[in-house]
Amino acid sequence: MTTNFNSGSAVRPAKFTIEASDGWRLCLHVIDTQAPDSSAPVLLVFPALAAATRIYTRMALSFVKKGYRLVLADPRGSGESGPLPSTKVDYGITQLLERDWPAVVGWAKRRYPSAPIVLLGHSLGGQLSAIYAGQHPGSVAAVILLNVSFVWYRNWSFPSSWALWFIFLSSSLIARVVGYFPGNRLGLGHPVAKMVIQDWARWGRRGKYTTEDGNELETYLERVTGPVLSVSFTDDWFYGPRSAVDDFARRLKHSRLTRWHLSPAELEAEELGHFRYLKHSCQLWERIHQWLNVQLPRTAVT
């Protein structure tokens, strides 16, 4: 794919395949117009549940135009990091945190040794990015969270709270019976692994971040000490209501937190929602760019 900017320059995303420590092959889409020894920040983009990182390409190109390098990472079983989940292909949150995130961050650090690494995660991708940052203090320069909620059903008002509780329960049961969650048949981008959907559903019903083995994850959020930007939108009322996003943000109690809750009018958009803003939010990317220039002044880009 080639995208032409008004300046006449062209950007051609490059595809890389890397291996996680257990041998799973992960696909990365890299958009980089900087010199190899540049210290411009690198944004590692991690997608929402059942989403492929190709939906973030327009956002990525906006940041590249501002001088950043972008790495769009498809975690295992999503996008081009197949095989897709099935009755024979399963994994949980543990594998994502212990295998995929370290593989992507490690690859970026080797490729860009002099550049600050910024994790940019959407929804579940943001939850795991924040947990990863707490598991590996000092490994990244900043974390950007887009529509990242603490997915406990009590963070939603009635009757949405009980509708969500039912969704958590039924999703877990469907995954258990079928052997995976057929998200592609239910309006999502692709299937979801059985253990991932059960981890997510357990978080939503119990309000505690734990792995399938019962290991506590929430304490890692308290260990995040660097700059964090948490963004939500007034019209993302079902997937990311302010109360749920605020609840996640408050758990980052030792970070240097910036919290934005924005309306479509503030970004001169008709709607933002949970995904729509990815198509028409140039003003949001400019605001994030300015935030990064404050947080990472030694490597500010213009």
For the stretch 91-142, pLDDT in tens is 999 999 999 999 999 999 999 999 999 999 999 999 999 999 999 999 999 9
CA atoms within 13 A on the CB side of 275: 14
Residue 300's pLDDT is: 56
Per-residue pLDDT, averaged over 221-243, amounts to 96
Residue 299 has pLDDT above 70, yes or no: no
The angle, 0 to 180 degrees and rounded to 10, between the axes of the packed helices 124-135 and 101-111 is 70
Q: Which residues make Cβ contacts (< 8 Å) with residue 63, sequence separation at least 6? A: 43, 70, 285, 289
% pLDDT > 90, the chain = 84
User: Token pair 């990317």 is at which residue?
Assistant: 285
Q: What CA–CA distance (Å, rounded) separates 39 from 33?
A: 12
- The H or E element that residue 106 is part of is helix 101-111
Strands (E), 20-76: 25-31, 42-46, 69-74
Residue 10: pLDDT band (50, 70, 90) is low
**Residues 38/115, Cβ–Cβ less than 8 Å:** yes
Count of beta carbons in the 10 Å neighbourhood of residue 33: 17
> In whole angstroms, what is the distance from residue 52 CA to residue 146 CA?
15
Which residue has 């095989």 as its token pair?
83
pLDDT tens string 135-170? 999 999 999 999 999 999 999 999 999 999 999 999
Is the pTM value of this prediction over 0.85? yes
Q: Kindly tell me if the per-residue pLDDT of 8 is higher than 80.
A: no
Whose structure tokens read 């506590």?
216
The one-letter code for the residue type at 22 is D
Which residues 6+ apart lie within 8 Å of 257 measured at CB? 228, 229, 230, 249
Rounded to whole angstroms, the Cα distance separating 86 from 111 reads: 33
- Residue 230: is its pLDDT beyond 90? yes
pLDDT at res. 149:
97
Residue 35 pLDDT = 76
How many CA atoms within 13 Å lie on the side-chain side of 106? 12
CA dist 106 and 214 (Å) reads 27
| Architecture of domain 3-299 in this structure | 3-Layer(aba) Sandwich (3.40)
pLDDT of residue 189: 79
State yes or no: pLDDT of 1 exceeds 70.
Answer: no
CA distance 10 to 100: 30
